[in-house]
Structure 1
């Protein structure tokens, strides 16, 4: 797993990199993001691979691969509420918690113009990532919408 130089300051509102059911047109986009975003733009997550799960995908760290998705910037007045709601949706209870389905990690996302932006991304927790690399089904091209 890539190292993060420093955890983001708790007061820093990072955008979110989304790659599955939170993407525009998918069910959780309407339920969780509609009306709570300031901007949405295409992006990729370098050094990550995408695996099919039961009903939703899992991204995990893999050098040389990339995941396709969107960079979501929350509306300033919705950030705290959105962060909490996404943590619940992604079954993330905090750093290193054994019950996490996903871990929320600060990673660099890549915009189409080549610039990078630090964003939150939910990656498969380490036990799940190990299982997926051994027995999971990788989504070719790393794009949930083209699976």
Structure 2
């Protein structure tokens, strides 16, 4: 039996879901209470075909945004983002895994536990071996 963490956490987004990104309006538009610049330490950002991959790594930092959905849209946002990232809890074929990680708000340096979609283990191994890290960990300035 797979245990599913159902905690209503904010989301840390670092690529096409950021404001101005290709998927922000469709998946998050009108469904957020706040969007704040933040950073994820312990991960490196890699360039993919049109979108990035965060790969857990001890010395990296990924720049992005903390997205706080409005309470009444939370379940819809979670389901939509899981579909976008093709994430199914416990599925070994996932390309991304949704994990709870601490991210740091840029405004005041406070840590916030958030959902982050990171490269699943097989994808992460390929990226570490042959991927191209995004300098500075910011998809917007690549």
| Band the TM-score falls in, shorter-chain normalisation | over 0.9
What residue is the counterpart of 1:4 in the other structure? none
Secondary structure of residue in 2 paired with 1:127: helix
TM-score (norm 2): 0.95
Query: Displacement, 1:9?
Result: 5.2
Is 2:127 the counterpart of 1:132? yes
Cα root mean square deviation, aligned? 1.2
Scaled by the length of structure 1, the TM-score of the pair is 0.91
Match of 1:40 in 2: 35
Please point out which of 101, 108, 122 is paired with 1:107.
101
Question: How far did 1:8 drift?
Answer: 8.3
> Alpha-carbon deviation of 1:98?
1.5
Counterparts of 2:102 and 2:32, CA distance in 1:
20
Alignment partners' CA distance in 1, 2:32 and 2:84 = 17
Report the 3-state secondary structure (helix = DSSP H, G, I; strand = E; otherwise coil) of the residue aligned with 2:103: strand
Gaps of at least 5 residues in structure 1 are 1-6
Structure 1 residue ranges, 4+ long, deviating more than 4 angstroms after superposition: none
The aligned residue for residue 62 of structure 1 is 57
The answer to whether the Cα contact below 8 Å between 1:8 and 1:106 also exists between their aligned partners in 2 is no
Q: Secondary structure at the match of 1:145?
A: helix
The alignment covers a number of residue pairs equal to 139
Task: Please give the alpha-carbon distance, in whole angstroms, between the structure 1 residues aligned to 2:56 and 2:125.
Answer: 11
